Structure 1
């Protein structure tokens, strides 16, 4: 398959789908089954949880509405970016020395977890741990990134500030004032990473079913029943791992995040000389714009640019073209290169900019809301869910467990995205 199945045309022409490893058919659940843990959602969160549980000897059944990696886990930029949006100092001030430090450690070590899983399970997803560059477009952003680098350095992390000359040498563009490089980060083929987690979970004994959209969930305190159109799973615990594609399942879970479309465009493989002039050491970049740009090259030398999407087919295609134009402003020598793919999907934003770990009912827990850092954080949160499902007390998870709360005026939030995006675009052009 070369396009994302069951997706609207403007989002379906994914480079990752076109270059994915082969995967076995995972037929729909069509009978009543029993498990220790039922998992709803086959993205990084659910797959990470399934793998950890199966390796611990738990009977695991995972139900995915489409196929593993169909959502954001198979469509993102493939950037393994550690940490929260909040700085370590902010997290520790908010949550205290004990819990705050454990949260900072969880987020800071999330990249280690990803690359360790890849190594241990031999996942063929073109991993490169070259580091994550955060690039400043304004003096205020440069000062903030410098402070962030110092905070991580004080905690022993390999994070270094970059001046204008250093960031120009690493990126191949003079567009940025400076920034930082977080050498804990890296990049990979995101869909192949998801498919590799799925295969590893199955080898460990987990049962994965595609085309098995969950229609209902019931918890009575001792047993949880998860229903699909043609089957059901009875388990002692259920994990909800549906992120931006939650919808009305386990309401108000889906209204605790704001689904926002993120899109990408990709070129054909660049020739050697051109490739060496753009990100010559293979890092990925996220910049400090309000409508941030994120970009890198893949293992075959294709240039990939991502950013905020839009509603509707015409709006999405216009945003794709805007990303190509932004790429040319950074790298004018891409002007004769052919753009071959354009795609996108929804990511989940939270009001706090931190993931949510939510107790939904006795025996039911959910994790979602990765705010564009899902490769690392979803993998880590899946592991937390697995630990909880095996009996670890909530107080020992190292992350706050809360009730899912609806974002105020959630039903109107997408209506306001257009004016907000337009305003942010003006502010970014003014450099303020």
Structure 2
């Protein structure tokens, strides 16, 4: 695997709470449940299983939060990619309402766990603003606010003036605000989940890549790179944007797009008062969306899509640096301190997918860029399903693994789409 920190450490790696004490798996063992993947989904699953009295074993190929969980923008945004009325139209009234309730509660799941376990995680919950960059985007914002408002969510429409004041940029014609959203230090949160899971009884082995998965006589055996194995009754696979060939063709069901981010040095107090002055987090209505926020030390973060390949040099982040200067001219001369990226698992229908291709094997894949809240809540749902066998605990139905047609060509397609949108999606 290519080095995920190709040039400099990420902001989050540089400022996170210390990692939990973990070990590499050296000797084979037998357990009830093994969870593969030490990101939000895997750690949340392990934590909620341990709370129920199970003793899950987590296998992580690198370190806790190594993948997208430790390298995202730290925005906690409720909801799914589809608006409530779209979910009902797509899935029917009963399933749609369940999905709406699930999506609407994802931010609560994150902040609830941070509070419950007193995690050492810098966080803020003053709301998420979606800025509309065109009148079409403003129409979309009105629909979303209306649909969530009907369901009692703390949302409201923002006119151009208020959007400019709350964001600190004049680039938007308006927008809407959802008071349920907020921001966290994402790697500290992953490490906090791991500590909570360990305290509840889970065992976490890092630097332990799973290399093989097979079932025999009703039990599963997970082979690891060291030669040690884990034998278990149940396996939960949660590798998302870093999915490899552990299960046939699973990696062909997603596009693992790279999300690129930069962070300035901490802003002066005067500059801080001009950008997101009330502590909101934000992403916009572009097809190739931009997302930005201030971190707990007052750095301005800007994120968006970049090359599909792993980055080769600082020039791969240059488009984000240009965007910062255009959106926030007051900080155009503030140096960039950090550049990093992480993979986001995108499915064809922009929904999370759950698969059970064999008895005792549950697979979760697809985060669509909202993984902080969605995968935390998904872990809770998967733990309930594993513990009870009740499919009603799952927000989406179990489905067959369906590889994307011509998957090998999708990297070229995505790269072309990114280049097209960069030229035509809002003038930045």
- State the TM-score, normalized to the length of structure 1: 0.96
Deviations, residues 334-369 of structure 1 (Å, cap 9, x unaligned): 122121100001111011111111112100011121
Cα separation, 1, equivalents of 2:143 and 2:52: 41
For residue 145 of structure 1, the aligned residue among 122, 137, 141 is 141
Taking the TM superposition and a 5 Å limit, the aligned residue runs for 1:208-223 are 208-220=204-216, 222-223=218-219
Deviations, residues 390-425 of structure 1 (Å, cap 9, x unaligned): 123224433211112101111111122232112112
What residue number does 1:28 align with? 24
Contact persistence 1:237–1:363 (CA under 8 A): yes
For residue 86 of structure 2, the aligned residue among 85, 90, 109 is 90
SS of alignment partner, residue 236 of structure 1? strand
Q: Check if 1:338 corresponds to 2:343.
A: no
Does the C-alpha gap of structure 1 residues 17 and 403 become closer, same or farther in structure 2, counting only changes over 3 Å? same
Cα separation, 2, equivalents of 1:314 and 1:59: 39
For residue 186 of structure 2, the aligned residue among 190, 197, 203 is 190
Q: Check if 1:275 corresponds to 2:272.
A: yes
Contact persistence 2:382–2:393 (CA under 8 A): no
**Aligned length in residues:** 427
Unaligned stretches of 5+ in structure 1?
Answer: none
TM superposition shift of 1:24: 3.7
What residue number does 1:108 align with? 104
What residue number does 1:172 align with? 168
Q: Identify the range of structure 1 (91-100 vs 272-281) with the bigger mean alpha-carbon deviation.
A: 91-100
Taking the TM superposition and a 5 Å limit, the aligned residue runs for 1:320-339 are 320-339=317-336
CA root-mean-square deviation: 1.6
What residue number does 1:130 align with? 126
Contact persistence 2:253–2:403 (CA under 8 A): yes
Contact persistence 2:286–2:426 (CA under 8 A): no
TM superposition shift of 1:278: 0.3
Cα separation, 2, equivalents of 1:396 and 1:338: 48
SS of alignment partner, residue 36 of structure 1? strand
Deviations, residues 76-107 of structure 1 (Å, cap 9, x unaligned): 00000111111100101111111110111001
Q: Identify the range of structure 1 (102-111 vs 90-99) with the bigger mean alpha-carbon deviation.
A: 90-99
Unaligned stretches of 5+ in structure 2?
Answer: none
Does the C-alpha gap of structure 1 residues 102 and 162 become closer, same or farther in structure 2, counting only changes over 3 Å? same
Does the C-alpha gap of structure 1 residues 306 and 27 become closer, same or farther in structure 2, counting only changes over 3 Å? same
For residue 394 of structure 2, the aligned residue among 392, 397, 414 is 397
Contact persistence 1:12–1:344 (CA under 8 A): no
Contact persistence 1:75–1:344 (CA under 8 A): yes
Contact persistence 1:357–1:401 (CA under 8 A): yes
Cα separation, 1, equivalents of 2:139 and 2:158: 11
What residue number does 2:301 align with? 304
Contact persistence 2:352–2:396 (CA under 8 A): no
Cα separation, 2, equivalents of 1:128 and 1:314: 31
Deviations, residues 231-286 of structure 1 (Å, cap 9, x unaligned): 11111110000001111111222111110000100011111110010000111110
Does the C-alpha gap of structure 1 residues 236 and 198 become closer, same or farther in structure 2, counting only changes over 3 Å? same
Q: Check if 1:117 corresponds to 2:76.
A: no
